[in-house]
Chains A and B, each alone.
Chain A
Amino acid sequence: MNNTNILMRAGRWRWWELLLWAVALALPWVMNTHALIINEIAIVALFALSLDIILGYTGIVSLGHAAFFGMGAYTAALFSKHINPDPLFGLAVAMAVSTVLGAICSVTVQRGTDLTRLMVTMGVGLILMELANKLDWLTGGADGLQGVMMGPLLGRFEFDLYGSTAATYSIVVLFIMFVLARRFVNSPFGSTLKAIHDNRLRAMAIGIPVASRIAVAYTVAAGAAGMAGALLAQTTGFASLDVFEFHRSADLVLLLVIGGVGWLYGGVIGAIVFKVLQDAISSITPQYWTFWIGLFLVVLMLVGRERVVRPWTWFGTSSSKKKEGAA
């Protein structure tokens, strides 16, 4: 009984969290001129959230998460172009398709070492990029898929040029997915994922079906990443090969590492820091901003990310740990 209490406590919402989400929802309308970047941050945050499920909670290293992101983006774009322009419908279809893709790919991450998984996940991403590049009659090839027209959201709210509607849409989706993900990782199922993360052999010994748990976590994460991709395609009305690019996966791991893995908010914080940094640096040196991000990475790893990110990670993990210790 005590154990269930602990589980439930970790998933309980605190008042300041709700306040933060309320502020986030108000932002696109208050900071009207920054709505586009807020939209981007929300999308990247959702993408990072999905990686956190497999990297932070299950311990699966992936350098090809953009595969699902891109799949979602292209599915949503194609769906709205050829079948039905309703955004929510497209979002659902994109999620379904990338979930299926995730289920197929989950066979590849169950065995082997970190290195093998790095390779295989990267390989899947590259294969999809090649496909999107070569199937140019469908995807537009290197020029990208143009002419994606989105219908109004819920039949009423048009996507405007300033992106306030788009940003609100993305934040709402992010919030819903955040609530679901939180429910997911704090469930007994989520606890088995953490057990696998900590020690796979021990998890196996106490009777956790490791392979199938990893498969499910990977599939769920793929679905969420697909939704993030769909949001990007829908709110920008455009899908290009860029969504599959390797650096997208690498940046994603980076921003998750900045924000801290294994507590869901890490992705959101990482997304904010990363996007703001990117915006700031690339406005100074548009061409060489990768140099600075590289330098940042190197320094971060040499100094030790715990020391650098302490001010933020301090909130989530330490307070829940204290309570666990008390109980």
Chain B
Amino acid sequence: MLTILFDGIAYGMLLFILAVGIAVTMGLMNFVNLAHGAFAMVGGYVTVLLMQRLDVPFLLCLPIAFVTSALLGAVLERTLYRPLYKRPHLDQVMFSIGLTFMAVAAVDYFVGSTQQIMQLPEWLKGRTEIGEGAWMLGMGHYRLFIIAVCAALTIALQHILTKTRFGSRLRASVDDQRVAAGLGINVNVVFLATFAVGSGLAGLGGALGADVLGMDPTFPLKFMIYFLIVVAVGGTSSITGPLLAALLLGIADVAGKYYIPKLGAFIVYSLMIIILVWRPQGLFVRKGGKA
């Protein structure tokens, strides 16, 4: 049971890193970016291909995946996304689905449609067990690694958002773009940087998750719903909301798939619908806060 909890937390952490970028674009720029999963896929594929073809060590692949997706995000933000900020949500949704379709077909064309196998380094393959019987806690080392990395990233993100100058500029831009611009904050640059970091995090999440989630060209479509659930349930006004939502979702999904495999993803979707009908603005939104 504890093992399931542990796996659920690891899974949730992974989802959080994957989804935090989308939370930022949605909360900050009010842009519904369904192509977020495509950035994650880029990170995942960069890692997998580097390891398979060039034998780059795993730990070196992670920053490369981050930088690649971040650069891609920055370029796309500048060229394609920016003109669409002011458009209706439906346009943004259609645009980003279009991007996703293109990414899926392009990866299929260049790499092939089969699932990519990743060889983890030896020191991440093991498993440690503590305790006995029903309370036994089995920790896969790789999952432990994921939790550590994601926890560090979460703390860093929270620190950047609340303690640094960039964070306060970002929050100012969230609350009122025009006033922020009037105060001399270059909103465009703040948005560009944020979008790039968000995409980079997605890429990192994809790289970390390539082994757990599986990497094939349909990845963006398969996990899009999960990112969106995290954001919709957690709300977009803080980092903690999506984090808690991701953990809840991760645990529910792993536990559901373990105890009632026949129902599959059913549990997660039902949970989301119930929560959203009950609290349409998300679970962890402060009262009177901006939705």
Report which A residues bind B (CB closer than 8 A): 55, 61, 63, 107-108, 111-116, 118-120, 122-124, 126-127, 130-131, 133-134, 246-247, 250, 253-254, 257, 287-291, 293-298, 300-302, 305
Contact = CB atoms under 8 A, between A and B. Distances in A.
Contacts of A288: 105, 108-109
Contacts of A120: 272-273, 276-277
A253 B94 contact: yes
5 closest residue pairs by CB, A with B: A112-B280, A297-B98, A294-B101, A291-B105, A294-B102
Given A291-B106, A305-B91, 14 more contacts: A114-B89, A114-B90, A115-B228, A116-B276, A118-B32, A118-B228, A124-B273, A130-B264, A254-B97, A294-B97, A297-B101, A300-B94, A301-B87, A301-B91
Contacts of A293: 98, 101
A289 B272 CA distance: 32
Given A123-B225, A257-B94, A302-B84, A111 B265 contact: no
Interface of B: 26, 32, 80, 83-84, 87, 89-95, 97-106, 108-109, 221, 225, 228-229, 231-232, 262-266, 269-270, 272-273, 276-277, 280-281, 291
Contact of B277 (A108, A131, A254, A291): A108
Q: Which of A122, A131, A247, A295 has the most CB of B within 10 A?
A: A122
A253 B93 CA distance: 10
5 contacts: A115-B228, A116-B232, A120-B272, A123-B273, A254-B94
Contacts of B104: 290-291, 294
A118 B232 CA distance: 10
A113 B235 CA distance: 12
A122 B228 contact: yes
B95 A297 contact: yes
Contact of B97 (A112, A130, A297): A297
A153 to B, nearest CB: 37
B94 A296 contact: no
Contacts of B94: 253-254, 257, 297, 300-301
Contact of A294 (B100, B109, B229, B291): B100
Given A126-B225, A302-B84, A250 B97 contact: yes
Contacts of B280: 111-113, 116
B257 to A, nearest CB: 12
B102 A298 contact: yes
Contact of A131 (B84, B231, B266): B266
A134 B265 CA distance: 11
A76 to B, nearest CB: 24
Nearest to B229: A119
B266 A301 contact: no
Contacts of B272: 119-120, 123
A119 B232 contact: yes
A294 B99 contact: yes
B269 A127 contact: yes
A302 B83 contact: yes
Contacts of B273: 108, 120, 123-124, 127
Contacts of B80: 298, 302
A60 to B, nearest CB: 11
Contact of B221 (A113, A127, A246, A254): A246
Contact of A295 (B26, B84, B98, B262): B98
B15 to A, nearest CB: 15
A134 B263 contact: yes
Contact of A302 (B95, B105, B109, B277): B95
Contacts of A295: 98, 102
B281 A290 contact: no
Given A130-B266, A253-B90, A294 B84 contact: no
Contact of A107 (B87, B95, B99, B277): B277
Contacts of A305: 91
Contacts of B90: 55, 61, 114, 253, 257
A55 B88 CA distance: 13
Nearest to B261: A134
B84 A115 contact: no
A287 B152 CA distance: 42
B283 to A, nearest CB: 12
A112 B272 CA distance: 14
A294 B221 CA distance: 13
Among B98, B102, B270, B281, chain A packs the most CB atoms within 10 A around the CB of B98
A300 B99 CA distance: 12
Among A287, A301, A302, the one with the most B-chain Cβ atoms within 10 Å of its Cβ is: A301
Contacts of B106: 291
A294 B101 CA distance: 5
A144 B155 CA distance: 48
A115 B101 contact: no
Contact of B93 (A108, A118, A123): A118
B281 A112 contact: yes
A293 B79 CA distance: 20
